[in-house]
Amino acid sequence: MSLWVDKYRPKALDNLHYHEGLSARLKSLASSGDFPHMLFYGPSGAGKKTRISATLRQLYGPGAEKLKIDQRVFMTPSRRRLDLNVVQSNFHIEITPSEVGNYDRVVIQELLKEIAQTQQVDLNARQRFKVVVINEADSLSRDAQAALRRTMEKYMSNMRIILCANSTSRLIAPIKSRCLLVRVGAPSEEEMMRVLAHVAKGEGFDLPPDAAAEIARDANGNLRKALLVLEALKMQSPDLSGPLSIAKPDWETYCHKVADMIVQEQSPQRVMDVRAKFYELLSHCIPPTVILKTVADRVVERVDESLKADIMHWAAIYETRMRLGQKKIFHLEAWVVKVMSLYKHSMFNFDMSEFD
């Protein structure tokens, strides 16, 4: 028994419920004889992977959906063993090189060269090239991106690369210039409500418009989250009537608690307390960029209007530094100290203004 988010995932471009113009362009590209390297980017839960899968089906037919998972072993120059799960069909292969950390360059070089130097074995295939889908492309190291750039130039005749990323800011310019950029924006609340109603109809129940609107509002553009919440609420309350109680994930509640601690007190001891909370979140595999964004959003809600721009400005700066550095906790803590300093300074100026 599969989750609704998987059960109702569209398989063809014609079945997608929003961004119809984008679907039409992808269909036209897949039907043309000149399919380019592509870079799909957009926020999490917007439907990037669904569109990639539908594009592969348009390229190769139903055979692209017959998948198997293999575990490949790669050896680094220092003879270290790397294990990577690879999802593949007869026509394409899907990898997430960032799973092996800083050794992603080894995976890119070996695997892509192996695929690029082999011809398409299925004589009935509509296309003579294979497609390599690289997930989390924005997490690739600089060395891996440089290796990918050379491969894209050299083996264009036998291989096409489809990159999937949340943002293009971390990708080097030569890769972006060699790809057709496809932005998959987050669906609007109306589009999400339409998808929720479609899933409810498929499951044989009526979804009240108020409930659909509340779920869509809480999901904040993440359709995957909206469908998971809908299924959870349906299990709790079959008729979905009355006020809905949408539970927040534990990590999100914890991040909000950290933000409240920052606003309530600004002291060295409070910095240490917040640091301990950050360690707790990181030890539970919550990405540091997600921690920073969630805490920053909550802090912005709690402070004066004059501080909001500065807080988000410094959050962006420390997020960039976090990507370049190794110890994520240092940059999270530095941002907290900066925010406390800004907040303390603004409160001091406010208190002094009372004596004027």
Instruction: List the CATH number of the domain containing 271.
Output: 1.20.272.10
pLDDT tens sequence across 123-165:
455 677 888 999 988 888 888 888 888 888 777 778 889 999 9
Same domain, 137 and 41: yes
Q: Which residues of 139-158 are buried (b: 16+ CB within 10 A; e: fewer)?
A: bbbeebbbbbbebbeebeee
Same domain, 118 and 43: yes
For residues 289 and 71, what is the distance between their CA atoms, to the nearest angstrom? 29
Task: Give the relative orientation of helices 288-302 and 328-353 as an angle to the nearest 10 degrees.
Answer: 10
Q: Is residue 195 part of a domain?
A: yes
Residue span of the structural domain in which 269 resides: 250-348
Same domain, 226 and 332: no
Low-confidence stretches of the chain (pLDDT < 70) are: 1, 119-126, 241-243, 348-356
Q: Is residue 354 part of a domain?
A: no
For residues 339 and 332, what is the distance between their CA atoms, to the nearest angstrom? 11
User: Hunting for tokens 């906790």 — which residue is that?
Assistant: 329
What is the reported pLDDT for 163?
93
pTM (2 d.p.): 0.81
Among 165, 183, 201, give the residue marking a domain's end. 183
Same domain, 14 and 122: yes
Single-letter code of the amino acid located at 294 = T
Among 175, 210, 236, give the residue marking a domain's end. 236
Q: How many domains would you assign to the chain? A: 3
Q: How many CB atoms lie within 10 A of CB 20?
A: 11
For residues 54 and 39, what is the distance between their CA atoms, to the nearest angstrom? 15
Same domain, 266 and 326: yes
Same domain, 222 and 265: no
Among 140, 160, 183, give the residue marking a domain's end. 183
Q: How many CB atoms lie within 10 A of CB 281?
A: 20
Of 248, 166, 230, give the one whose Cα is nearest residue 192. 230
Same domain, 176 and 206: no
- CATH number, domain of 26, equals 3.40.50.300
Query: 155, 116 in Cβ contact below 8 A?
Result: yes
DSSP 96-155: -GGGGGGGHHHHHHHHHHHHHTS----TT-S-SSEEEEETTGGG--HHHHHHHHHHHHH-
Q: Is residue 329 part of a domain?
A: yes
Same domain, 11 and 143: yes
What is the reported pLDDT for 355?
46
Q: Is residue 77 part of a domain?
A: yes
Same domain, 232 and 338: no
What is the reported pLDDT for 122?
55
Same domain, 61 and 179: yes
Q: Is residue 353 part of a domain?
A: no
Same domain, 196 and 341: no
Same domain, 133 and 213: no
Single-letter code of the amino acid located at 87 = V
